[in-house]
Structure 1
Amino acid sequence: MNDLYPSGFALVIGGSGGVGTAICQELVANNIPVLLTYNSNRERAERLSNELGGSQASVSCEQVTLQDLTTLNRAISRGIAQYGRLHSVFIATGYDIPQSPISEVTPELWQRVMRSDAEGAFNAIHATLPHLRDGGGGSYVHISSAGLLKYPPLDILSVAPKAAVEELIKGVAKEEGINNIRANSIAIGVIETGIFLRLKEQGVFDDAWIEGVKSALPLNRFGQPEEVAKMAVFLASDNAAYTTGQLIPVDGGFGV
């Protein structure tokens, strides 16, 4: 066990994704039992669970659809039966969205993205909050966007739902601190994993775009998922016991 976390387990929602995978890896490296969730890619989630050591390393995976509270409650119950107390919840999901000007976003797409991201995060908190209270406290870490600090053109479908979730995170921090529950977000910039790599392969981000964005960053490079994971695991640990309600940038200086 890790002295910086209580006994029990961490729930990584979206653990089979790029940043979610790195968070799972960092948690396991710190001897913290992990229940990771996936939406549709069971094969990838099971492969990751096995790569991380499976049952021998106290790692398991469950299918969760954030719009279906039944799947959330089932996963949490199974995690508690296996590992005991739920002490940390990492929300690392993301809708695979197009880069689009606001004028071209349809009401149907807007509703779909808001339901996926904003409503999904609310459901995750709704399902887990009673368990954190019952266990004597805990922590939420939400993977957000550096676009909340400086708006990037064509990124409204990423930034808008995360802005809603950010107010939710602040509200949890404000209302649940009395129950020893903390809540923080990480504002990530361009991270070389997941959605960014898929859009790059599709030609959405060409070489000129990539070089232009890098040149505007003080660190002149994109981030790695491991760098986000280390911050996430730090924020949920007792090393950050007096930090709550914060939006911490991991963005290479994008917001400067």
Structure 2
Amino acid sequence: MSDVAAKRRIALVTGGTGGVGRGVCLRLAAQGYRIGFTYNSNKTGAAELGKEIEALGGAALFDNPDISDPEQADGFVARVIEEFGRLDAVVNAAGPYAHQRFISTFTSDQFAHHVRYELVAFFELVRATLPHLRESSGSLTAVSSMALRRYPARDALSSVPKGGIEALIHAVAVEEGRFGVRANAVGPGVLEDGMGVNLAATGDVPPKMRDAVIRQVPLGRLGLGDEVAAMVCFLVSDEAAYVTGQKIDVDGGYGL
């Protein structure tokens, strides 16, 4: 892709201030993309990321809409289109923190919360952006989880909604390929940074458990959010023009 072509390309990234989302934004900005991204509560981090995107030669628009709400999803997408004129890539890297709990212990409200802010939010993102991706023959990429291949106990609040997200990815790949739209997913393993920091801080993944996971990773270490972002950006790129309906785990071999 030429520099001129790249500078005409627009991406929408949810969860832009997260470990993976931030890496995606910066990598795409370095290629000249203009980016609309969402954040949850880290307004300062969002402003800093916007400046970094601009320093790399890109342009940024950001806000904290509730994408699970149809009106807010439509509103943010409309702002991106109004500001940048088109949409070539959508990356879903947002999701609430998921406490590690046994199925027998979480409530209906807890489960519904995760279904809404992960699965329903992803559907609304797809619904709102698909007409624009058809126009550009664009790409949709979701950050999912390697837990759908190797399920770790107590991870249902995170992995169950992501199972639905992956099903939606398959649906888009099969039904929208005729318009040139590609849809794929990337499954992070246990990460050193990003959500991995939160899991350690809350005690959901204590040091002994973390060490046990590392011993089971063939590459002998935890991953980094930017390593996941690299795979996401490959799937966004023209290099992956014949890749759709796939789920690629970036987990150091932990899922084997």
Amino acid at match of 2:182: R
CA distance in 2, matches of 1:143, 1:151: 16
CA contact (8 A) 1:100 1:154 kept: yes
Separation in 2, partners of 1:191, 1:85: 33
Whether the 8 Å contact between 2:30 and 2:57 is mirrored in structure 1 is no
Deviation of the 1:2 alpha carbon:
4.1
Contact 1:146 1:255 in 2 (8 A): yes
> In structure 2, what residue type is equivalent to 1:225?
G
Does residue 89 in structure 1 map to residue 110 in structure 2? Answer: no
Alignment pair present for 1:161 and 2:170 = no
Q: 1:196-215 counterparts in 2 under 5 A?
A: 196-215=196-215
Secondary structure of the 1:131 match is helix
| Residues 38-73 of structure 1 deviation map (CA, whole Å, 9 limit, x = unaligned) | 133322211211132279631221222112222222
1:5 Cα shift?
5.0
Q: Is the 8 A contact 1:8 1:84 kept in 2?
A: no
Runs of 4+ in 1 over 6 A off after TM superposition: none
Alpha-carbon distance between aligned partners in 2 of 1:5 and 1:231, rounded to the nearest angstrom: 18
Deviation at 1:3, TM superposition (A): 7.0
The equivalences for 1:144-183 within 5 A come to 144-183=144-183
Deviations 1:86-133 (A, max 9, x none): 000000011111100111111111111111111010000010001111
| TM-score normalized by the length of structure 1 | 0.94
Within a 5 Å distance, the mapping from 1:93-132 to structure 2 comes to 93-132=94-133
| Contact 1:6–1:87 (CA under 8 A) maintained in structure 2 | no
The question of whether the paired residues in 2 share the 8 Å contact of 1:217 and 1:253 is answered with yes
Q: Please say which of residues 77-86 and 55-64 is displaced more in the overlay.
A: 55-64
**Aligned CA distance change for structure 1 residues 127 and 159 (closer, same or farther; 3 Å):** same
Secondary structure of 1:64's counterpart equals coil
Q: Which amino acid aligns with 2:171?
A: G
- Aligned residue in 1 for 2:138: 138
Number of residue pairs matched by the alignment: 255
Contact 1:11 1:36 in 2 (8 A): yes
| Residue-by-residue CA offset, 1:192-216 (whole Å, 9 max, x unaligned) | 2222201212232222111110010
What stretches of structure 2 of length at least 5 have no aligned partner? Answer: none
Work out the CA distance in 2 between the residues paired with 1:17 and 1:176.
28
Percent of aligned pairs with the same residue? 38
SS class of match (2:88):
strand
1:47 aligns with 2:24: no
Name the residue aligned to 1:191: 191
Q: Determine the C-alpha separation between the residues in 2 that align with 1:2 and 1:198.
A: 38
Cα 1:4/1:186, change in 2 over 3 Å: farther
Shift of 1:7: 2.5
**1:235 is matched with which residue?**
235
1:216 aligns with 2:244: no
SS at match of 1:52: helix
Question: Could you list the runs of 5+ residues in structure 1 that have no partner in the other structure?
Answer: none
Aligned counterparts of 1:49 and 1:6: Cα–Cα separation in 2: 16
